[in-house]
Amino acid sequence: MIAASYSRFGSAADVLEIAQRDIEPPAPGEVEVLVHYSGVNPSDVKKRAGLRGDFPADFVIPHSDGSGVIVAVGEGVSEERIGQNVWLYEAQHNRHWGTASELVNLPDSQAVKLPSATDLVEGACLGIPAMTAHRCLTIAGDIEGLNVLVTGAMGRVGYHAVQVAVAMGAKVIATVGSEDDVEAIAELGAELVLNYHDEAFADKVIEHLGGPLLHRVVDVEFGVNLPQYLPAMADNSAIGCYASTKSPTPTLPFYDLMFKNISIHPIIIYSMPESAKKDAIDYITQMLEKEQFTHRVAKLFSLDGIVQAHEAVEQGERGCVLIELLSHD
């Protein structure tokens, strides 16, 4: 079978290569998936660049997210799973074999059955973005009827977070970086969409809500954005933040946060409690069954284009970047 891999850290062009590899039968508790689409996320390219810990093995087949069809099962897994369309998550977490491969074995629970109305392209867009969005929104409790801000709503996580928050009955305010994006996010159900470059951002949120009444924030750039939305936050509110790339060691206005009793929750799905992962999967499945999700595929590459796929993510491509495995010559 064909797979992309790297044997050392470095730039995509320098270290990624495509070659034939052998795969063992699925171990007990595992399924073997014929991968149709592999999802490329920021964490994948950071791992390849050496920004996420030590090298885990002799080689790494990258990417945690993807979708495909179960073609074999290991001992203890029902054969009824064979033939199911599934979406995959954490395929390359704490191991060296991810989804940039024609076949992948992974634990049964990490291959989630897709509803019949959801195709495999959509399935490959879930994983990290959708599960992160769900966790950011729910880590501090139920959000029905609450006011939620989603920053960077055209990004992978933000785009899903707007939709999850709307489905949960929240009132959603979102930020985008261009006036051209306002309509797209409003169509997802956000009742107010603002440009995050607007210096009067907090005042406009306060005016819209009738006071500093933001209950939850889902934030893509915590260190930079916090001073912007903090004046609009309510007492006993919460922030779920999943990146702070531009300000990785932010200085916090401690007393402003303390007097409002605001809690801050950095989120990464890999170390989420298993119960939280299950809750996210269950809710994502519910939304898929009700056809409440839309997904924005920005770039679709063949496996031969994996270098360009990684470079697109590194250059800030906001939508889902996918690799189609079955298109490899």
Give per-residue pLDDT as tens, 275-319: 999 999 999 999 999 999 999 999 999 999 999 999 999 998 889
Query: 140, 240 in Cβ contact below 8 A?
Result: yes
Flag whether 277 is in a domain: no
Residue 283 lies in a domain: no
Note whether 13 and 66 are within 8 A (CB): no
Instruction: Check: CB of residue 44 under 8 Å from CB of residue 312.
Output: no
Say if residues 238 and 139 touch (Cβ distance below 8 Å): yes
CATH of the domain at 251: 3.40.50.720
Rg (CA), the chain: 20
pLDDT exceeds cutoff 70 at 328:
no
Residue 304: inside a domain: yes
Looking at the structure, tell me whether residues 195 and 113 fall in a common domain.
no
* Confidence grade of residue 329 (pLDDT, cut at 50, 70, 90): very low
Model confidence over 205-260: pLDDT tens digits? 999 999 999 999 999 999 999 999 999 999 999 999 999 999 999 999 999 999 99
pLDDT score recorded for residue 318: 86
Q: Which structural domain, as residue segments, surrounds residue 36?
A: 2-125+295-324
Taking the C-alpha atoms of residue 286 and residue 194, their distance in angstroms, rounded to an integer, is 29
CATH number of domain containing 118? 3.90.180.10
Last residue of a domain, one of 227, 255, 270: 270
Q: Say how far apart CA 298 and CA 321 lie, in whole Å.
A: 6
Check whether residue 148 and residue 121 sit in a common domain.
Answer: no
* Residue 23 belongs to a domain: yes
pTM, two decimals, is 0.95
Per-residue pLDDT tens digits for 26-41:
999 999 999 999 999 9
Phi, psi of 112 (to 5 degrees): -95, 130
For the stretch 67-106, pLDDT in tens is 999 999 999 999 999 999 999 999 999 888 999 999 999 9
Cα separation, 129 vs 137, whole angstroms: 12
Q: Is residue 290 part of a domain?
A: no
The answer to whether residue 133 is domain-embedded is no
Instruction: Report if residue 58 sits inside a domain.
Output: yes
- Alpha-carbon distances, residue 196 vs 149, 171, 175, 181, 191 (angstroms): 12, 18, 5, 12, 16
Q: How many domains does the chain have?
A: 2
| 232 found inside a domain | yes
How far, in Å, CA of 129 to CA of 135, rounded? 10
